[in-house]
Structure formats: C-alpha cells, structure tokens
Amino acid sequence: MAIREVQKSEQTKDGRKWVYEIRYNGKRIKSKKYITKAEAKEALIEFYKEKDKVNNQSMMTLGDLFEEHYNYQKDKVKRTTLTNYGKKIKHFDSIKSIKLDKLNIHDIERWKKEINSKGLATRTKNDLMKYLKSALNFGTKWYDYNFVSMYNKMSNFTDPNEMPHEMLFYTYEEFKQFISVEDDLKFKTLFETLYYCGLRRGELRGLSWDCIDFDREELFIKQNVVNTEGDRGYWYLTTPKTKSSIRQVPIPRILLKDLKELKEKEKSYYGFNDKWFVFGDINPIHPYILSKRKNNNAAKAGVKQIRIHDFRHSCASLLINNGASIVMVSKYLGHTKTDETLNTYSHMFRNKLDDIVNTINKLDGE
C-alpha cells in the first residue's frame, strides 16, 4: 500500500506523520496525516470501501433494491406481510432493470400508465405505490440515494369514474333464513360466530377451545390461520392482523348455548383437548370447505350469495342498526382506528345521522 512517513519538516506538532498517497481514477490523492502507520492503513481501507460502495450503488437497479428491502424485512415483519411484498414486486417487472441513479419521475409515470391498463382497483394500485415509496425510503436510509425531487412528484392513483364497491351483507332476517337450513351443529355454530362476533376468516379458523371463556362468556381472539399460496398449501398460525385485532369479544346467548353443546360433542372424540380448533379438529377447517358450505346454504335458503368476509360486514350492520356507537363497533371488530370503521361503514351510520336530525326536528315540533 502507498503508505509513507512524511519528512520531519511536514510533521505536525502533535506527532502526525503518516499518510497514504495513491492514484485513483487518474487522480493523485494524498490523505491527511495520522499519528501511526496503522491509522493511515485503516484510513486507506475505509477510502476504498467507500468508493466501492459508491460504485456498487451506481450499478444497483430498482429490482436489486426490492430484493435488498425484502431480505432486510425477513425477520422484521409477519410472514403474510412478506408474502404480500413478493406479490407486489411482480407488478414492477417493466421498470425493475432501471438503475437507481437513472430512475426518474418519467419512469414512474410510464409504470403508472401500464398499471392503469390492468384493470386493478384504485385501492390495489395505491397499495403498490405505497410499497414503491417504502422501497425508495429504504434506499435513501441504507444506500444514501436521494429521491426527494422524484418522491414529491409521485402522486397516488385516482379514478373519478370508478364505481364504489357494493358492500353485501345479511340483514338479521336474511341471516335467520340462511341459518335455518343448516342441520350440522358445527357449521351452525360456525356461521353464528361469523355473524354475531364479526371475526375475520383467519381469526375464525384460528379459534381454539382454549380461546373460549365460558364463565366470562367471551372469545379471546389471539391467533390467525393462514395458508401458503393463497388458499392452497399448508396452513400455519400467526398473530392477528394488527395489535388491535387481539381482543375479547362477548358471546351472545344463542351462540354460547351452541358452543357449549358443540364442545360436549367434541369431547367424545379420541384425543380431544382444548388446543383443538373449534371449527376443525387438530387442523383448522379448510377455506374451500367453508366457502362450499356457505354457497350451498345460501342457494338452499334462497338468499343472496355473499363472501365469508361479508359476514363481518353483516355483524357491523347488525351493531350499527341496533344503536352501537362508532367507538364500540370499532373495538368489537378489532379495527386499529375508528376512522377505519367510519370510512368502511359510513353509509350505514348515515341512517343513524338521519335519525338524530329527525329527533331534533321533533323537539322543534316539526
């Protein structure tokens, strides 16, 4: 290495006399002075490391950044979140080869036009934009890229012509008609749990007998069942969607009665214990079986077809139309913020606002 001791006349009063002197990219570079030869050597190593870092950065593509971000998050986010990252990355194939030091807002706008042609919902497209921004922020933090000028121009997707998604749900009368055709106690209890407690599908599948407190008459939502590869592949347990999703849900009397009866029946099976899944056995019920039973019952009962998740909307409707406050509905469903509840079910609360105005009108004698 080009490390040398300077002449005595060049040494500093505090004894600094070692430097490194090299040629880099055709230029002669001389360092500041160091007290020991070892310090000068270490400084030279750091110089080359920094230059290598800059050179590597100039070669890094957007695809490389996605990969680095994905690997960084492996031990920091839930498995389901990591899987969703992988799914999102596939939507950036057309711009993944662009080097980060060349990436500009025109590339992003070109990508947006491509995404707009795929017929995705606006919410889905903005989820992709959110992920892109997260990856760019990661690049800024860990690789010292500066995306500020481009970042500020990255606007969300909008579609003024997009029709709002129709929210389907069962009224209480429709649910009674739906459940009247169910002759299997386990499935009857399953659909009652969905309707009266507003559980997400994964929360329902993850419900084990030790999550039910019959004395306090409540369910403890503490785990979630997810399948690899969508509804295919093997299942595994994870925590609920958010911290707010971990909650106690009171059990209505009609459901409590059926849960007690179902447990007595299940206890007769060999190997039964409280770790068994309420809707399954040592394994949770498969999504296909759940959906098939729901579809058959709806057809047999002569009511509209709704998704499993729509039972959660049905529960919200039941609560709202029977006077529950926005705060209580939010807590019952395990939403992180009441804004989420209001944004999702604002059309239902609209009826309650009309009731309030009618009450005021009556006070005025109108």
- Give mean pLDDT in consecutive 10-residue pieces for the chain, a chain of 366 residues: 82 88 74 89 79 64 92 88 92 95 94 94 94 93 86 89 77 97 97 97 97 97 88 87 93 97 96 96 95 97 96 93 88 90 77 60 62
Q: What is the pLDDT of residues 317-351, one digit of tens each?
A: 999 888 888 899 999 999 988 888 888 887 776 66
Q: So what's the pLDDT on residue 46? A: 82
Its pTM surpasses 0.75: no
How far apart are alpha carbons 334 and 6 in whole angstroms? 70
What are phi and psi for residue 226, nearest 5 degrees?
Answer: -130, 145
Which residue is listed with tokens 């500093």? 12
How far apart are alpha carbons 229 and 292 in whole angstroms? 19
Q: So what's the pLDDT on residue 177? A: 98
- For residue 201, count CB atoms less than 10 angstroms from its CB and return exposed for 0-12, middle for 13-18, buried for 19 or more: buried
Q: So what's the pLDDT on residue 75? A: 86
Q: So what's the pLDDT on residue 232? A: 75
Q: So what's the pLDDT on residue 231? A: 76
Domains and CATH numbers, the chain: 3-58 (no CATH), 62-151 (1.10.150), 172-357 (1.10.443.10)
Count CB atoms within 10 A of the CB of residue 163: 6
Q: So what's the pLDDT on residue 356? A: 58
Chain centroid, CA 165 distance in Å: 20
What are phi and psi for residue 67, nearest 5 degrees?
Answer: -65, -45
The per-residue pLDDT of the chain, averaged, comes to 89
